[in-house]
Structure 1
Amino acid sequence: MKLNGLATDLAAKGLSLPQDFVTFQTTENLYGSLDEVSVTGCWTDLSAPLSSPVEPDAFLVRFFRDQQDCVIWYLYLRPMSEAFVVYSDLDYEIEYEARRDGEETQTDLEDAEEQRAAILWCAPSFEEFANRFWLENRLWHAVNDGELPVLEPRLQDYLNHYASPGAPV
């Protein structure tokens, strides 16, 4: 299983996968649910641990991408710290492979400022990311499939939260 190999690779670096991510990836009715609900053809795609180009001893693990690679989501793992989710338009696995093979890359991996601009914060945890992604994609389906008046309660609660005055945009 790819997840076991990934966990072993991370353990050798003194890191581990967050439990919410492991639970999601190993629970039959959860695994693949983001792929199924995605309105933009996103799919699960795990990478090996990739060195963070902006922080020593930190690693990225690609876990999800859209069909055109406009957005690629990563777990950001640091020693002695909670994992969080970031995104980029760069596939760092391809970038590192190209650099290793002496090929031209899309970005200067040595330019920390450029890399900080390319890696953007998304969510404080995998669970938060997955929940928002699932809800927002279900809402898109409800709006576009004409189901809006009969939303399931958790979708309606999510809409109500953001429709209230002063709610974050």
Structure 2
Amino acid sequence: MENQRMTIYIIAFAIIFAVLIGLRFLDGSPVRSWKMVFLIGIPLSLFFGYYYNRALPEKPAALPQSTKAANYRLELERTCRRIAGVQSAVIEGNTILMDFAEDKPVAEFKRLAQETGGTASYFLKTNKDSIKITVHISVKGRDRYEMNYESNRGVTDEREL
């Protein structure tokens, strides 16, 4: 970050002095001597460097991946509960448990499981490694469909129960 601040000062210094030197060679310009170039350029450079340094706030420190994954886990759980027909949805470790109020065709369950598993595998991984997500779907407490999804391979196993 300190290197970036110094770069801002150097860029401000270079731009202001380039403009003042250009004005020095124009006829009728208020900057007619090298002394004026330096007397105007140094305070302006310091002012603009300080201004840009303070006007551009520092980026906050990045959250650890585990904290991000925990926040995403809560949001994914809320999102799963909003799916039409879902009575309850819980994420336990790498398993997503979804209980539906009404039975639907297996193709619909497959589509929902693939979308949910893909999204969860992206948001819940805590490093660059592959993560395995299990999506378990039940209807009124009776097991109906289960799918395993790996982030680098896609659907690896699926079962109708």
In the superposition, the TM-score normalised over structure 1's length comes to 0.26
| Structure of higher RCO (CA pairs closer than 8 Å, 6+ residues apart) | 1
Please identify which structure carries the higher helix content.
2
- Structure 1 or 2: larger strand share? 2
TM superposition score normalised by structure 2 = 0.27
